[in-house]
Amino acid sequence: MANPPQQEMIWQGRLQLGDEPGTYGDASYPGICAELPITVIRSDPAGQEFKLVLATEDLETFQGYPGHAITVVMYLPDPNQPFHSIEQVVASASFVSADHNKKELTVNVGSAPGPFRLSVRLRIDTTVNPGLYDDFIWRRLSLKATNFQFFASFGFPT
Distance CA 94, CA 51 (A): 15
Contacts of 112 (CB under 8 A, 6+ apart): none
Per residue in 3-48, pLDDT (tens digit) is 666 789 999 999 999 999 999 999 999 999 999 999 999 999 888 9
Contact between 7 and 143 under an 8 Å Cβ cutoff? The reply is yes
Domains of the chain as residue ranges with CATH: 6-154 (2.60.120)
Whole-model pTM: value is: 0.92
Contact between 68 and 107 under an 8 Å Cβ cutoff? The reply is no
**For residue 156, how far is the Cα from the chain centroid?**
15
pLDDT, residue 158, reads 75
Confidence class for position 113, pLDDT limits 50, 70, 90:
confident
Per residue in 62-107, pLDDT (tens digit) is 999 999 999 999 999 999 999 999 999 999 999 999 999 999 999 9
Average pLDDT estimate for 103-117: 94
